[in-house]
Amino acid sequence: MRQVLPAALIVLSAAISICAQEQSPQSQQPQTKHNTRPSQSTTSTAPVANNNNPDPVKYTYEFTQPKFYVKHIVFEHDANGRGTITFERLNEDVSVSEPVELSAAALARINAAWQGLQFLDSNTDYQSDKQFPHLGTMRIGMERGERKRVAEFNWTNNRDAETLVNEYRKVADQAILIFDISIARQNQPLNAPKLMEAMESLLNRNALSDPRQLLPLLKELSTDEHIPLIARNHAIRLSKKIQK
């Protein structure tokens, strides 16, 4: 028995060794697949990282007319349409700053106008031969890295420049209206009916950046018992009008 037992152990050890050699390629195959995934993932995400511009762009719009009720407006935003509007009213020494986020539709129109201007690669003077300083002075600017340019005019015949300032004016009017409504809801509820009339006037003149952005606010106003019933009913009508 002592001689048979070592022989059996030798045979058993050889069998285990052969089995391990037969299984080792199969056991390594999933491991090889697993090791290749991180490199594939890195390759697929590399273009996204490269698309991040090291020099983010900043756009600015400024309007000034000391005799207007809203006498000064400055709007700054990034490539995603997120920014801040600062405005100052006549006979007021304190300016107001509010966050603004452009809708996708408004941002598309604004981007198209900027692309049409080829602003940083151009030195075009957008001021027309005729001067209308009583309408206010407008400045548009773009900054990317060390490149920066600002153009000033009070009237222009350039279609893209005109589109751009008109779009920015709509953004400003909508943002200021939203601010005034928020103040009315907090402190001056009796002003709400007039503000609803102002909103409808802007809506009828296509003077709002994107009326659909106002739908959540109008829904809140329609059930806000702090403002007069006439304003709540007007909010319902405006909401239906915008959704047509």
- Residues 5-29: tens digit of each pLDDT: 444 433 444 444 444 444 444 444 4
Which tens digits make up the pLDDT trace of 69-120?
999 999 999 999 999 999 999 999 899 999 999 999 999 999 999 999 999 9
Mean pLDDT of the chain: 85
Within a domain: residue 221?
no
For the ranges 39-53, 102-116, 182-196, which has the lowest average pLDDT? 39-53
123 domain residue, yes or no? yes
User: Is 4 domain-assigned?
Assistant: no
Question: What pLDDT does 208 receive?
Answer: 98
| 48: pLDDT strictly greater than 60 | no
As a whole number, mean pLDDT of residues 59-71 equals 97
> By CB neighbour count within 10 A (0-12 exposed, 13-18 middle, 19+ buried), where does 111 fall?
middle
- Would residue 61 count as lying in a domain? yes
Predicted confidence at residue 52, as pLDDT, reads: 53
Bigger pLDDT: 108 or 53? Answer: 108
Between CA 229 and CA 128 the distance in angstroms is 48
* 235-240 mean pLDDT: 98
- Quick check: 181 pLDDT over 60? yes
Mean pLDDT of 215-239: 98
Query: For residue 94, what are the domain limits?
Result: 49-160
> Which pLDDT score is estimated for 55?
78
Mean pLDDT value across residues 108-137: 97
User: Would the pLDDT of 2 be above 90?
Assistant: no
Residue 2 domain flag: no
d(CA 32, CA 50) in angstroms, rounded, equals 29
Asked if 182 and 78 touch (Cβ cutoff 8 Å), the reply is: no
142-177: pLDDT as tens digits: 999 999 999 999 999 999 999 999 999 999 999 999
Number of structural domains found in the chain:
1
| 135 vs 40 pLDDT, higher one | 135
The answer to whether residue 152 is domain-embedded is yes
The reply to whether 98 falls in a domain is: yes
Instruction: Kindly report which listed range (42-51, 53-62, 80-89, 235-244) carries the lowest average pLDDT score.
Output: 42-51
In a domain, 219, yes or no: no
Distance CA 172, CA 152 (A): 18
Residue 215 has pLDDT above 80, yes or no: yes
Q: Is the pLDDT of residue 224 over 70?
A: yes
